[in-house]
Amino acid sequence: MMATTAYIDDSCSEVIDPPKTEVLDVVELPGDHTQHPPKPNVVVSSSVRELLECPVCLSAMYPPIHQCSNGHTLCSGCKPRVHNRCPTCRHELGNIRCLALEKVAASLEVPCKYQSFGCSGIYPYYSKLKHESQCQYRPYSCPYAGSECTVVGDIPYLVNHLKDDHKVDMHNGCTFNHRYVKPNPHEVENATWMLTVFSCFGQYFCLHFEAFQLGMSPVYIAFLRFMGDDAEAKNYSYSLEVGGTGRKMIWQGVPRSIRDSHRKVRDSYDGLIIQRNMALFFSGGDRKELKLRVTGRIWKEQ
């Protein structure tokens, strides 16, 4: 069973390829996410780590690594920020590269930063960022769409977070029948209803429903996201149905992984889209209140 672990990652590191002059002993094939087994006696001392740490942003440095005439180093991203002055001795930086430190870094092998989540791989220093951007153990962002939630973690942690902190509706089963109500819908251009989470097939799925503007047209959209990676999401399909007064609309698709943000899925129109006038027609009555019933089911592909 996967350990429940929270992880807060506020880094925005750029994936940088190794210097063309270096030959590394690991070849990464496109789409190859295989975890390399741990290698014995691979130790990166704290003093070496400190040498590779930028004194300004405190992040690991990658080529080009700059240095002043006194040998103090900093990363290329911070060089413009210090106005060409060494942050350590205040001497002018110029355009000196610390090739020796770049070569030292190329000789190192380091563990993935998601080691606590289960990744046991050891990677060349210059391949580490690329691996971490694709690591199957990297944490997920909270899928809640009602606020800019910054919590990240593994799936068990996020399920508990959604239940305890966001108070979302939790359901067991692979079919659903939801009613979305909104008074004065003509006054609402953007609205998000409470997220619903379904547990079925031993997995978790998130049902989203919201109002937004599609060009100049007010519309509603419903879609499903899978709490797991995209490769697993493709094992499932779902359908959504909405209707009234003898008419109905049906959508069938594949749930998107929560690796894709809620906004990305919505803005790609990957779901059941209902024009507001049609939604009010389905609601019946005097069309002054939204009373839309959305039914659906989730199934596993053979």
Every domain of the chain and the residues it spans: 48-107, 155-300
pLDDT at 44: 55
Asked if residue 66 lies in contact with residue 76, where contact means CB atoms within 8 angstroms, the answer is: yes
Query: What are the structure tokens assigned to 153, written together?
Result: 């973690």
Nearest to 127 by CA among 245, 36, 55: 36
Question: Residue 276 phi/psi, 5° resolution?
Answer: -60, -40
- Quickly count: other Cβ atoms within 10 Å of residue 43's Cβ: 9
Nearest to 53 by CA among 87, 29, 20, 22: 87
Q: Is 276 left (phi over 0), alpha (psi -120 to 50) or beta?
A: alpha
* Domain 155-300 belongs in CATH node 3.30.70.980: no
Beta bridge partners of 219: 212, 275
pLDDT at 212: 87
Query: What are the structure tokens assigned to 5, written together?
Result: 């672990």
What is the spatial distance between Cα 46 and Cα 48, in angstroms, rounded to a whole number? 5
Beta bridge partners of 290: 182
Beta bridge partners of 204: 199
Asked if residue 138 lies in contact with residue 117, where contact means CB atoms within 8 angstroms, the answer is: yes
Would the CA dihedral through 262, 263, 264, 267 be positive or negative? positive
Rg (CA), the chain: 25
Q: Which amino acid is at 219?
A: V
pLDDT at 7: 41
Per CATH, the number for 48-107 is: 3.30.40.10
pLDDT under 50: residue ranges of the chain: 1-43
Would the CA dihedral through 16, 118, 110, 151 be positive or negative? positive
Query: What are the structure tokens assigned to 155, written together?
Result: 């799936």
3-state secondary structure of 272: strand
Residue 147: C-alpha distances to residues 93, 110, 150, 180, 192 (Å): 44, 36, 9, 19, 10
pLDDT at 45: 58
Would the CA dihedral through 230, 236, 242, 246 be positive or negative? positive
